[in-house]
Chain A
Amino acid sequence: MKKIREDDVIKLLNELRKKYEVIAPVKLDGRVYFKTLGEGDVLTLDYVNSVVSPKDFFLPQKERILEFSESGGEVTVEDELSSKKRVFFGIRPCDVNALLILDSVAREGFEDPYYLGRRDNTLLISLECVEPGDDCFCSVFNTGPSLDEGADLVFTDIGDFYLVKSLTDEGERLVSGSEFFRKATGGDEETAGKKRKECVKGMESLDLRNFSVDEEVVKEKAKRCLYCYSCTFICPTCYCFDVVDRMDLYSRNGERMRFWDSCMNPSFTEMAGNFNPRDGMVGRFMNRINHKLRYMRDRYGVYGCVGCGRCIRNCPAGISMLEILREGVRK
């Protein structure tokens, strides 16, 4: 195991910027966002988690997936695949687990080359949590606060230093090729272990073995849902998107755009002739909860929620996923 001095983290990232695009947490108007580091950007290490989830860098809110053009009867199509080498620093364990869920989705049946291209070309340096946020409940799903798979490197705050654990060969290469890492002691590892334990203690513990979605409880909550869609947009595991083709005035050249959609939007399931199989608000809300807590578990063997708490923090109607879980266990 290695460690790195806190002051050296920014030096390391600056070093990495020579070879990679580096994505890291920065403050904007007092809140934390992940951003591609540019000149003048100030890294912050003091945060619970980002406002918008890291999925934006793998499945962007909007992206051009291909371009097409027609000339002399010939149509050419060009895919917009990403091969940019990137380092994503500071991603929290819950969000790493969320990416693992998105991977399952992107690999199921048809492969999603746009998403997977970004995933394959991005090194993840995860920052474990040593202090839970008010709305965090990763402990419920075991998706944090510590991390044993999914990232290339895992940093743990142990005071003046970060303990560094490499989980992949690429992570190992990064560490061995840099002068900023030094050998960690047994004491460092002990400190990290203690901090992780403390962090878990500060969070909810729920035994999900007997969990099932309590439909009555969920329906009751659906009544006050305002269908604002924001939970689906900031959720690290929501992946639904829409696609639109945009043509030039002569209908010769165009681009295909993909962008986030939301199952909370009535038009999400609207069909030709205005028929909507999932009409009514309660049905839409029910589907979102069932998708996270039932369908994904049935399909991929893991819950579709990682307990990052973003939806709880942002819900204007005070609807809490954690409360739905509690009720589902209590029942």
Chain B
Amino acid sequence: MGSDTENALKREARNLLKKGDVDLVLGYCMEGDNVIPCFISSPGEVDGLVWNNRCKNNLAVYLRELEGRVAVVAKGCDSRAIVELLKAKQVEREDLIILGVSCRGMVDKEGEEYGSCRVCLHRNPVVYDLFVGEKVSEREERDVDELESLSLRERLEFWSKQFRKCINCLACRNVCPMCFCEECVLEKKDPEWITRAGDASNLFLLHAIKATHMAGRCVECGECERACPVDIPLMHLYSRVCRDVEELFGVESGMNLEDKPPLAAFDLERDAMLEENEKNKRG
């Protein structure tokens, strides 16, 4: 983590604010020993900006609520979330200035790299207006999915055990930059799709629904896992359904603004869509 990147970031942020190009810079600051998301609205505050290996938050989650023109610091996963939000028309491209930064993987307080960062294949931002720092090399291949090698029964046991820990706080949904529905099926009361205060099977259903809703949309930032108080490895599920979407429709979430969201753009002529997305990839 070079402080060169941090300084460059400060320089760009200061410029943008001074020129009045943006109303706000969304980045990271320190509070005590903690790195926290922060909202900077004047050049005088820019010195507080930091860039280090503790900047774990996916800042895209704040974009929908912010008003005015915003410059946002975006590492790989933040930028992928921005792409998905743009595809879903949740934010306006002209309201954003994306300050791309490359990430070497984020670590927790004890210095241990987060699970989502260990398996990350996109550490460089996929979309940006200004890039600061240096690009990093990407891992070429995904790790072998150990769960995949287990039998159906073993996997069922694994996830049942995980979901038994669930206290139904919905933090996984609430911190997800991709969860922006005005009304959520998981806590709709009339009709009540998921039984409130239900048994283990209801929790299983809740997580299964959440996972299918992440298909083709999860950007693998790992916020769900970090927010989960009882450490359910949720991103694993969401990544898994995204792999299926990749195979079926040729789309990896958050990679290309031109991609049609496979499960939103319903098309009976699936092959035609596949072809189009393949073309985009090549182009």
Contact = CB atoms under 8 A, between A and B. Distances in A.
A233 B65 CA distance: 24
A228 B170 contact: yes
Contacts of A267: 187, 189
Contacts, number: 99
A314 interface: yes
A234 interface: yes
Given A257-B196, A316-B175, A320-B34, A31 B231 contact: yes
B197 interface: yes
Contact of A52 (B167, B189, B226): B167
Nearest to A262: B169
B37 A317 contact: yes
Contacts of A259: 168, 196-197
Contacts of A281: 65
Interface string A212-246: 00000000000110111110111000000010101
A323 interface: yes
B168 A51 contact: no
> Size band of the A side of the interface?
35 or more
Contacts of A319: 36
Contacts of B196: 242, 244, 257, 259
A316 B167 contact: no
A232 B37 CA distance: 21
A40 B95 CA distance: 58
Interface string A251-276: 00000011110100101000000000
A121 interface: no
A29 interface: yes
- Which among A61, A63, A228, A267 has the highest number of chain B CB atoms within 10 Å? A228
B174 to A, nearest CB: 4
A230 B31 contact: no
Contact of B32 (A30, A229, A317, A323): A323
B168 A323 contact: no
Contact of A229 (B37, B174, B223): B174
A323 B31 contact: yes
Contacts of B32: 320, 323
Contacts of A75: none
Interface string B33-77: 011111100000000000000000100011001000000000000
Interface string A21-65: 000000011110100000000000000000110001000011100
Contacts of B229: 51-52, 230, 233-234, 310, 314
A134 interface: yes
Contacts of B197: 62-63, 244, 246, 257-259
A159 interface: no
A323 B65 CA distance: 25
Interface string B6-49: 00000000000000000000000001101111110000000000
Interface of A: 28-31, 33, 51-52, 56, 61-63, 134, 223-224, 226-230, 232-234, 242, 244, 246, 257-260, 262, 265, 267, 281, 310, 314, 316-320, 323
10 contacts: A51-B230, A52-B229, A223-B39, A228-B227, A229-B171, A233-B167, A242-B196, A244-B197, A257-B196, A316-B223
